Chains A and B, each alone.
Chain A
């Protein structure tokens, strides 16, 4: 009897106060500028939790250990607050899409999936409307970054909760940069190309994945393409790759390719990390994981490792692509309210801030208020990663997000276009024509 009364009290409490604020008895976590801010002015949506809810979550395997540690800690906190249970299934990040697709197709499986890029747009009709929690979180935490709105909402309705992105920035060796005559990392494409060549002359080639590297290859190739003002498709989805801007991007890439270490055309995601840590390359694009690994195992390299945002091209503003992670709930879930409550709870300051801080900059959240977390300034080398999501465009820019944009990325159309021209000596016209055909095939469906 006593237990039942306790449950009732807890449930009532959640109903009236909503989210994770319930569990947020003041913790001793350092929130930096966020500490003490009155976020509770916005009323959370009232979610009547199901009885003893068990929420199954499918998510990507952690890139760094503290991610899992704090994610699990927060899950246990949610369990304490709600009396529910969270079952996390961690799988390789590249396998999330096929597994989630299977769940969408058969109508069973995890309640929540932490998927990538266009995933929710492949089966939007099968997803629960999460407008209430996204609106609440947005209002409370300074709004969502633009790309989050683009990725998470469809026809004015939120279909997924943006969790943020393991961003990619330029990772470079400061001493070698100085040796090449630069005090700081170049800010424009033109200077960047020159710098890469000088580094190569000094015996420090650069390395960017032009192989089928899901993250590094796609992010690098798209960011470079967009920085020149080029794009795969127009707003209406018509093919736009065959343009003077694309040709400029191709020429620029070929010049950088001449400064690359041999073999980049075959690089998969792990190659640049290993080459950088083995002193083989001076510059690459990557998440903060290289620096993280260096701090643990190669302190000398870590001391000399710095980060910079991608250089700005003729387009005149940052135009980057990063991995983008969003959580979505399937309509078949037996615990829809608990699932929504769980996601809301996880993005509340008391849970999200320690989680992000613990990941040391690996994941950049999509809520603007979290730009002020101490992790972004505690080590100045982390700062470029703070702006990843702010500087990001969406996959398939500037066209619609959906199966076509997913297909173009999955087939490495942009990466292969550059690789064909730079590494396989295919003529520029032919390389662009091949890409054009593949993009047209994807978007005509």
Chain B
């Protein structure tokens, strides 16, 4: 009778498991499983739920029913929604452009050698590290129709003779919100680009000096091309945050006057959380998705290129 070799025996559970672990794909999947699980529970589930809610008539305290595209049809026929869409794009485009321009300028200045360089760099970062709610409250006061510090100073200087109606006029209110957003967002550009500037070899500038290039030419031919990948990533991130903003607008105007400064985030909150219509609120939020997905794809593409 031949004795059965262990190699002839079908592999047991334990062996099968050991072999599977030798497979790099399986092992890799196991390693990322905890992170995947977290993402699934805390990101994917709410994300999918949000999309689903947009197709329901869910209101607070009541189970919703599937209503197809009705919420979206209602929104398309809602003038407040179109005004909100316009506001959101206007707010994002203008604020991001201003932040990028000012951010590059400040980064170039701060990249030079001067006394107390470190201190100034730290100060520049302040608007970014102050809680948004707090800075929004400061701006709320600065823009106050009766107590505005800005108006007070301008009146005292004899530049204007009456207080500026910062938040009572729709266009004034939009520009005021953009100014607050720019103030808060510039440091992100500045510090990000400053880090990029410091990786550019000084040899390139020396060579350009020898060739007789001026400051503008050096900026256009050396600085800007080398900064472009980083600038793109920083811009994309800033676009995402600005587009999905909520706190600044909610604290300063609550979407007023007469809905003239609502952006997607605030309108969604107003209808879902205050009005109790979760379905409609989710549908408004879902309108942000395409733009945010495009931004994420651009960022992903550039980050991959950088790798």
Contact = CB atoms under 8 A, between A and B. Distances in A.
Instruction: Please determine whether chains A and B interact with each other in the same assembly.
Output: yes
A101 B61 contact: yes
B61 A410 contact: no
Contacts of A268: 254, 256
Nearest to A418: B258
Contacts of A262: 145, 162-163, 165, 168
Given A262-B168, A268-B254, A105 B270 contact: no
Interface string A410-421: 111001100110
B50 interface: no
Contacts of A263: 144-146, 163, 165-168
A139 interface: no
A412 B259 CA distance: 9
Contacts, number: 133
Interface string A175-194: 00000000000000000000
Interface residues of B, number: 39
For the side of the interface on A, what is the size category?
A: 35 or more
Nearest to B279: A445
Given A122-B60, A266-B167, A211 B254 contact: yes
A104 interface: yes
A261 B146 contact: yes
Contacts of B256: 211-212, 265-266, 268, 412, 416, 419
A419 B258 contact: yes
Interface in B247-277: 253-260, 270-271, 273-277
A58 to B, nearest CB: 15
Interface of B: 57, 59-62, 74, 77-80, 143-147, 162-163, 165-170, 173, 253-260, 270-271, 273-277
13 contacts: A97-B273, A211-B253, A212-B255, A212-B256, A264-B145, A264-B168, A265-B169, A265-B257, A266-B167, A268-B256, A274-B146, A274-B147, A411-B270
Given A265-B258, A438-B78, 15 more contacts: A122-B62, A211-B253, A211-B257, A212-B253, A212-B256, A263-B144, A266-B257, A271-B144, A274-B147, A403-B60, A416-B259, A424-B257, A424-B258, A437-B78, A437-B79
Interface of A: 94, 97-98, 101, 104-105, 122-123, 125-126, 210-212, 261-268, 271, 274-275, 278, 280, 403, 406-407, 410-412, 415-416, 419-420, 423-424, 426, 434, 437-438, 441-442, 445
